[in-house]
Homo-oligomer: A and B are copies of this chain.
Amino acid sequence: MQNKILLPEDRIPKYWYNVIPDMPGPLAPVIHPGTMQPVKPEDLLPIFPMPLIEQEVSQQRWIEIPEPVREIFRIWRPSPLFRAHRLEKALGTPAKIYYKYEGVSPAGSHKPNSAVPQAYFNKISGTKRIATETGAGQWGCSIALACQMFGLECTVYMVKVSFAQKPYRKSMMQLWGANVIPSPSDQTNAGRAMLAKDPENGGSLGLAISEAVEDAVSREDTRYALGSVLNHVCLHQTIIGLEAKEQMAIAGDYPDVVIGCHGGGSNFAGIGFPFVADKANGKQVRVLAVEPASCPTLTRGVYAFDYGDTAKMAPVAKMYTLGHDFMPPGIHAGGLRYHGASPLVSQLLAAGVIEAKAVHQLACFDAAVLFSRTEGIIPAPESSHAIRGAIDEALQAKEEGKEKTILFNLSGHGHVDMTAYDDFFAGKLTDYEYPTEAIKESLSQLPKVD
């Protein structure tokens, strides 16, 4: 039986799909956190290079992927699409389950899909150095790799507790030539202020963002890079879904439901938006985001204007949010612990174009173990949410005795996340209740936007 569908490298897409022209209604403005007025493109120039700012607001449906970007993509793209025969059999489901596997990138996740073009567009715009932040390290690894490929310097502010707890990802960044600085650091005002207040502070993603942005805006040769949430990041990730559509066609199939795990939204947008395009053209397809119950942005948040970061330095955007003060419990899927969501994903959800559901941590690890033991590949804890979503759809099909075609995105491998599995097997993991009170509290802090 055919197990995987490969595309030759000349089938790497030549264009990204931009969902903006197919959105249900105009985009909400992005608000400057200082003036509380709409941000103008030129306001962003100290932070991002012009080509990325243009992509952020572009109304073009198809945006060309430059050849030097495709050249680097050839290291791992097109990524394989698998049919999960053994998982289907273990579930006893009539459903067909396909998955697109992004763990084949050198960094082990989908993140280089945006890191590589971000480095490239910075390079051609004269940027010499990128400053960014990373939590668990997936994004930091990816931007380090991408900067190395285009000869850019790279500084990564890594949340201090992760710097200590995720030494392998830190080492990968260093191997790819990046300067990795534990945050809070003494390199920025934001870092120094925190250290003065609390010398033992272990850092947070919000603070690391503040340090990276401050670094970028304070140096003429440096720009900032973000690994999720933004429109241009979602754009870059659509290469996942575009390839998957071609591979599904080769398999002679089309999904009834397309599933991605959801944190900031980039891998979900990547697999999902090209199918949203089909929906806009009248196709019947469900597009489902699966998020952790401990950080239920899409299912328990509100659709409102909020800051992108805890420190209120990032722009204010209209999105599903749990409130910028919300601090989720310490689940192992570190990449899904964000209070907000991509504004594009949020608008599609608010309009009923896509769906969202929340799943609990233990059920995700159950799914990841079953997947590892049938399909062989060890998933990242983040990706296990998509697997859980797919398995639930397949079990529902079994219960209903219905055929169903399921496609999900396996966004990364878990080789560097094995302590999470250890903790699961040792019974150290728990399911958190929905953090109802914490959400209520943090939602009372939303900014007022006219």
Contacts and interface: CB of A to CB of B under 8 A. Distances in A.
Interface of A: 1-4, 6, 8-9, 71-72, 74-75, 82, 86, 104, 106, 108, 145, 148-149, 167-168, 171-172, 174-177, 369, 372-373, 375-378, 415-416, 418-419, 421-422, 425
A421 B175 contact: yes
A415 B417 CA distance: 11
Copies of this protein in the complex: 2
A112 to B, nearest CB: 9
Q: Among the interface residues A1, A175, A176, which one has the most CB atoms of the partner chain B within 10 A? A: A175
B415 A108 contact: yes
11 contacts: A2-B9, A4-B9, A4-B74, A106-B376, A106-B377, A106-B378, A167-B419, A167-B422, A171-B421, A172-B378, A175-B418
A377 B76 CA distance: 10
A168 B422 CA distance: 9
Contacts of A373: 148, 175-177
A1 B71 contact: yes
Given A3-B9, A3-B74, A9-B3, A415 B168 contact: yes
Q: Among the interface residues A74, A82, A106, A171, which one has the most CB atoms of the partner chain B within 10 A? A: A171
Given A175-B418, A175-B421, 9 more contacts: A4-B74, A6-B6, A6-B8, A75-B377, A149-B376, A168-B168, A168-B415, A168-B418, A172-B415
A128 to B, nearest CB: 18
7 shortest interchain CB distances as A-B pairs: A3-B74, A171-B418, A106-B376, A168-B418, A75-B376, A415-B415, A106-B377
